[in-house]
Structure 1
Amino acid sequence: MDEWLKAGLDYVPRWIDYQVQHFAQPGCAIAVAHQGEVVLEAAFGTADLSTGEALTPRHRFRVASHSKTFTAAGILKLKERGLLRLDDGVGNFVPGLHPDIASVTVQQLLSHSGGLVRDGADAGQFTNHRPFLSTAELKADLVLAPPYGAAERFKYSNHGYGLLGLIIEAVTGEPYTTWIMREIVRAAGLTETAADIGLMTGGTLARGHSTRLPLGRRLVIPGDNLTNDVASATGFVSTAGDLVRFFSQLSPMSEAGLLSPLSRRDMTRGHWPDSESVLDRSYGLGIISGTLKGWDWFGHSGSFPGTLSRTAVFPAQGLAISVLTNAIDGPAQLWVDGIAQILKAFHAGGAPHEEVADWVGRWWMLWGAVDLVPIGGKVFASPTALTPPLAEMSEIQVTGRDAGKVIRASGFFSPGEAVARLRDGRGEVSEIRLGGTRLVSQSAFADELVARYQGFSKDRA
């Protein structure tokens, strides 16, 4: 493994651990793969707030719309075998649809450009007000006219991916879950992934959790409900490690043989922009894509009652990142981008040079924590709470064992001012002076807070 990557991966868990606590999240599991090999797996917080069970990388999560990527890979495998064409009308496989839906092509379903309704007139399956749909219930919605004509715009549709599951069943003559588990999940070498909760073997499910408001506390959402005949849209259960293994195989640059390079290029390129969103992203065939400050990515996200997750692959860098959170407001999007920003900084600057490698650690003051992060021959001071990380950095030029100077920073910070490390009687660094600001260890700062403010807080209680 490259030294820059080792150094970046060393900082990633420290940043995520702080973020989980800062955002008051129950738990989070992460994984990073490089060239298809998992190089980091970690978990933080709890799997179930009602029991206090510690979350581990082996806990399974409901990964919801990640399911669409598995389904899309299945459709493309059938296409490669000559069993269907992407320009086939879906009515060729599934009878009884509204004529406007029957003429929608397989490719339009894959790219969410068929104009279909998102979740039907009653979307209570996604708020735990009703079970997920059976085939009969799904088809009852699909005898109605769609909101838009085909190829008018990008319009996300869980019903559309439920219909793709029915197409797989019609072409293969097998239940969707049986075929997809054999031909995609096991073919990709995944051992911790199931197409629906009822197929999960081994491992323990990480429970979902509600938002903190309006109760001021989170409640456990079991997350063990079957997704029935829309498993192809939202049923999958997996781990962060399995997700980065699978998505890495979809990179056009991968040497994996799950799909041909042509199919992978077609999947991962943007077919339709999400033009109404502030996020610069497009949708391909079961794949979302975009760019992060020059690093192009593809992947998918997932939202299930109680969980939020996201996986992104950066093909040119050979990296894949997955973040799984077990609360409905989990900032998985922010944290995938944050991990990528950290790795991007180390990729550009390199592993810490020997002369600055010990200028490291988390230091505290009244305004929160600041991380000293050595990258290459430079040291950066970055507020730990920021997302993205390493965004508002002060660059420190080290001029001696315990001396330096801020040579680059926002004008609101301390550019041009001195930096010093102070040591205790044992010779250990106990304090940082960043310009005129004093920073100390977490334990010293906690003691300082109690000594200074606890009496006042008790008096006010």
Structure 2
Amino acid sequence: MRAKISLRGSALTLLGLSVSAVSLADADIDIAIDKVFSSQDSTRGPGCAVGVMRKGEIVFQRGYGMADLEQKVPVTPRTAFSIASISKQFTATAIALLEEQGKVSADDDVRKYVPELRDYGHVIRIRHLIHHTSGLRDYSNLWGLSGRNRSAPITRGEALDLLARQKQLNFVPGEQYSYNNSGYLLLEVIVERVSGLSLGEFAAQYIFRPLGMRHTLYYYGDRTATPSNDDTVPIIENRAQPYLKTASGEYRLVRTSYDSIGAGGVITTLEDLARWDANFYDNRLGKGGPALIERLTRLRPLNGGQEGTYGYGLMIEQYRGVPTVFHSGGAGGYSAFLQRFPNQQLSVAVLCNEGRLTVGKLTRSTANVFLGEQLPVPAAEELPDSTLADMMKRVNAAGPPDSKTMSEYVGEYFSNELDTTFRVAVKDGKLLVTAGYAPPREPKRFAPDQFFYDGVNRLTFKRDGRGRVTGLQFNAERIRSLDAPKR
């Protein structure tokens, strides 16, 4: 039995969404899209909802797989999903509306609104947060590196305290692009401190309600979109449960909570995303007209004049020779992708309740069905991610450190910026590093004194001029040169 539910024609009209014709026959489209989502078309696993819009009008939408494995509820086009980082475009739009109201400027110093931040000797402006060019370290990566539970809620106070502890930036603001959740945490704070409303309330009042997005909200997971002291949470109709597949092939539920929602807290449906998509062709938010859309899709060059690729929560690049505006989202047991082709006035949304899916590939394959002949460059072969294989080659070539070197590493290292102690020990001939109260990790050596610590960070044991180990240093794309001196 297959779990596949679709809506067409009159069913969509009843939902208040108009339907425009497509060039391919319905049967041909059904066959092609079914093939794209064949792996999700099952009653035994989670699935995806896929929607295709032309100028905001739905021309195809279908659900595959199960929204709730325990209750045996299938995914439908009306199923609600967390869209994780796709939420950033709504947070950025809130800032754009405040700009339009004259209440903030993209060139304002962030410390004007968030004085808790350290003065790094370089002005971090609101536009740096929007375009991921602030140089700030990523608070969610810092939290994970510190040994705290990634799935436990990080209160906003804790996140701000963590950022305030950081002694340096990854780079001078405006010099580089580096995708960063800290910027959107701070944008959330700015919206609230300027407007007097929570981000969830502001978005509901100025974005979701004006567009008729009745099934869209900012959501904390285990808390309400407006923080309160009670233990209640809102009921969300038709919500998909989040799943991850274990190494044994078993699906497990994932529970995540957010105290900060600016970087990825929106839950929505395909039908509401169609309403959002339509607004890019005929803006009804704020003062109306094209000025707001132009602001959202504006690119800022870096300090050196290099062209940017990130607008207001939107990635703006090319796919198969044509311009495209898109964003991905992934958190816990959810994966999502929303891609717009402005010149062809076509958009594709794929919302899934299985974490770690390659939703970008599913989205592009769907777009190819509808736009194949309109895309001048042939589709490139989708190559597998070779990061893990490359890492293991380097580890195997370097081999583990000898016992003398491991004994030199043993000790405690404290990071004031993380408020965390790292304990390095040797057990059964293995080097183990324990961060706070987290389980110990066995880092993998790829060069002298250098190790892959986890799937994100690299660890280096630092030495003084006499060769004595003096500290640890962690490096990653979103956290650079974070030191933990040896006690």
TM class, shorter-chain normalised? 0.5 to 0.7
- 2:355 is the alignment partner of 1:328: yes
SS at match of 2:325: strand
- 2:330 is the alignment partner of 1:311: no
Task: Name the amino acid aligned to 2:180.
Answer: S
Match of 2:180 in 1: 157
**May I ask how many residue pairs the two structures share in their alignment?**
338
Cα pair distance change 1:135/1:221, threshold 3 Å:
closer
Shift of 1:147: 2.2
Task: Name the amino acid aligned to 1:54.
Answer: P
Shift of 1:4: 0.8
Match of 2:250 among 194, 208, 217: 217
Match of 2:102 in 1: 82
SS at match of 2:65: strand
**TM-score, normalised to structure 2's length?**
0.63
Match of 1:426 in 2: none
Matched-pair contact (CA < 8 Å) for 2:297–2:314: yes
Match of 1:114 in 2: 134
Task: Name the amino acid aligned to 2:258.
Answer: T
Matched-pair contact (CA < 8 Å) for 1:20–1:45: yes
Output the CA distance in 2 between the equivalents of 1:176 and 1:334. Answer: 31
Matched-pair contact (CA < 8 Å) for 2:21–2:59: no
Match of 1:129 in 2: 150
**TM-score, normalised to structure 1's length?**
0.67
SS at match of 1:33: strand
- 2:246 is the alignment partner of 1:205: no
Matched-pair contact (CA < 8 Å) for 1:210–1:220: yes
Task: Name the amino acid aligned to 1:286.
Answer: G
- 2:258 is the alignment partner of 1:227: yes
Match of 2:393 in 1: none
Output the CA distance in 1 between the equivalents of 2:369 and 2:321. Answer: 14
Shift of 1:219: 1.5
Cα pair distance change 1:309/1:125, threshold 3 Å:
farther
Cα pair distance change 1:307/1:258, threshold 3 Å:
same
Matched-pair contact (CA < 8 Å) for 1:66–1:301: yes
Cα pair distance change 1:346/1:307, threshold 3 Å:
same
Matched-pair contact (CA < 8 Å) for 2:48–2:65: yes
- 2:268 is the alignment partner of 1:268: no
Shift of 1:348: 7.8
Match of 1:43 in 2: 63
Cα pair distance change 1:269/1:5, threshold 3 Å:
farther
Deviations 1:345-402 (A, max 9, x none): 26589xxxxxxxxxxxxxxxxxxxxxxxxxxxxxxxxxxxx979xxxxxxxxxxxxxx
Cα pair distance change 1:133/1:202, threshold 3 Å:
closer
Match of 2:275 in 1: 245
Cα pair distance change 1:175/1:268, threshold 3 Å:
same
Match of 1:256 in 2: 283
Cα pair distance change 1:34/1:258, threshold 3 Å:
same
Deviations 1:188-234 (A, max 9, x none): 22011111143555413211111342x23222224xx4412x20111
Match of 1:100 in 2: 120
Output the CA distance in 1 between the equivalents of 2:25 and 2:324. Answer: 21
Output the CA distance in 1 between the equivalents of 2:45 and 2:357. Answer: 7
Match of 2:266 in 1: 236
Task: Name the amino acid aligned to 1:139.
Answer: L
SS at match of 1:313: strand
Cα pair distance change 1:69/1:270, threshold 3 Å:
same
- 2:23 is the alignment partner of 1:4: yes
Shift of 1:149: 1.8
Output the CA distance in 1 between the equivalents of 2:46 and 2:318. Answer: 29
Matched-pair contact (CA < 8 Å) for 2:283–2:292: no
Task: Please identify the structure whose Cα radius of gyration is greater.
Answer: 1
Shift of 1:269: 4.2
Output the CA distance in 2 between the equivalents of 1:57 and 1:34. Answer: 16
For structure 1, list consecutive stretches of 5 or more residues without a partner in the other structure: 274-279, 350-385, 389-461
Output the CA distance in 1 between the equivalents of 2:363 and 2:148. Answer: 25
Shift of 1:175: 1.7
Task: Name the amino acid aligned to 2:214.
Answer: T
Matched-pair contact (CA < 8 Å) for 2:326–2:339: yes
Match of 1:54 among 74, 79, 85: 74
Map 1:173-188 onto structure 2 (within 5 A). 173-188=196-211
Cα pair distance change 1:333/1:135, threshold 3 Å:
same
Matched-pair contact (CA < 8 Å) for 2:134–2:174: yes
SS at match of 1:98: coil
Match of 2:213 in 1: 190
Task: Name the amino acid aligned to 2:290.
Answer: P
Matched-pair contact (CA < 8 Å) for 2:49–2:351: yes
Output the CA distance in 1 between the equivalents of 2:146 and 2:215. Answer: 25
Match of 1:459 in 2: none
Shift of 1:50: 3.6
Shift of 1:41: 1.9
For structure 2, list consecutive stretches of 5 or more residues without a partner in the other structure: 1-19, 226-233, 384-487
Shift of 1:106: 0.7
Deviations 1:158-200 (A, max 9, x none): 1110100000011101222111221112122201111114355
Map 1:294-373 onto structure 2 (within 5 A). 294-345=321-372
Matched-pair contact (CA < 8 Å) for 1:126–1:305: no
SS at match of 2:53: strand
Task: Name the amino acid aligned to 1:190.
Answer: M
- 2:170 is the alignment partner of 1:147: yes
Output the CA distance in 2 between the equivalents of 1:157 and 1:127. Answer: 19
Output the CA distance in 2 between the equivalents of 1:120 and 1:98. Answer: 19
Task: Name the amino acid aligned to 1:74.
Answer: A
Cα pair distance change 1:3/1:137, threshold 3 Å:
closer
Matched-pair contact (CA < 8 Å) for 1:90–1:102: no
Output the CA distance in 2 between the equivalents of 1:205 and 1:142. Answer: 33
Matched-pair contact (CA < 8 Å) for 1:43–1:55: yes
Output the CA distance in 2 between the equivalents of 1:288 and 1:181. Answer: 24
Task: Name the amino acid aligned to 1:18.
Answer: S
Task: Name the amino acid aligned to 2:132.
Answer: H
Map 1:384-395 onto structure 2 (within 5 A). none
Output the CA distance in 2 between the equivalents of 1:103 and 1:167. Answer: 16
Task: Name the amino acid aligned to 2:142.
Answer: A
SS at match of 1:327: coil
Deviations 1:248-272 (A, max 9, x none): 42x3xx1222254233223224446
Cα pair distance change 1:341/1:174, threshold 3 Å:
same
